[in-house]
Amino acid sequence: MPNNHSTYPPVEPIRAGILGRCPRCGQGKLFDGYINTARQCGNCGLDYSFADSGDGPAAFVILIVGFLVVGLALWMEVTINPPLWVHFILWIPLTIILSLVLLRWIKGILITLQYRNKAAQGRLDDSK
C-alpha cells in the first residue's frame, strides 16, 4: 500500500466508501461491477491488492438488517396483527433490498477505513 499521501488531499473514508470511490484520491472507482473490487484506481493508479474486507461486510449486514427487519416485524405483529401474507409481502423484499444496498456501502467503507488506518495482515515478531 503506497504511502504517498502528500500529493493527495485527505479523503473522508465514510463518504468515499458509500460512493464507491478511491480511498486515496476520492475520484476513481473502487468497484468493478457491483461488489467486486477493481484492480486499481483509474484516476491515481492506487493498487487495490491491499483491499481485503473478508466476511466483515456480510456479517455487519446480517446483524443490521436482521435487527431492523425482525424488530419492525415484531412491532407490527404486536400492534396491528396483520395476516401472514402481509408479513411476506413487506419483509422479504425489504430484507433483500436493504441487504444489497448495505453490502456495497459497508464493503466500501471497510476498504476505505482499511486504507486510511494502514491496516494489514497480522504478523508474528520473530526478533526474540
- Give domain status of residue 96, yes or no: yes
Q: Which one, of 72, 64, 47, lies nearest residue 106 by Cα?
A: 64
- Give domain status of residue 124, yes or no: no
| Phi and psi torsions of 91, nearest 5° | -85, -30
Residue 43: what pLDDT?
A: 94
Distance CA 105, CA 84 (A): 31
- Give domain status of residue 26, yes or no: yes
- Give domain status of residue 121, yes or no: no
**Helix and strand element counts for the chain (H, E):** 3, 0
Counted domains in the chain: 1
Reported as a single tens digit per residue, the pLDDT across 10-37 is 999 999 999 999 999 999 999 999 999 9
- Give domain status of residue 123, yes or no: no
Domain region containing 50 = 13-116
- Give domain status of residue 39, yes or no: yes
- Give domain status of residue 7, yes or no: no
Reported as a single tens digit per residue, the pLDDT across 40-90 is 999 999 999 999 889 999 999 999 999 999 999 999 999 999 999 999 999
Residue 124: what pLDDT?
A: 74
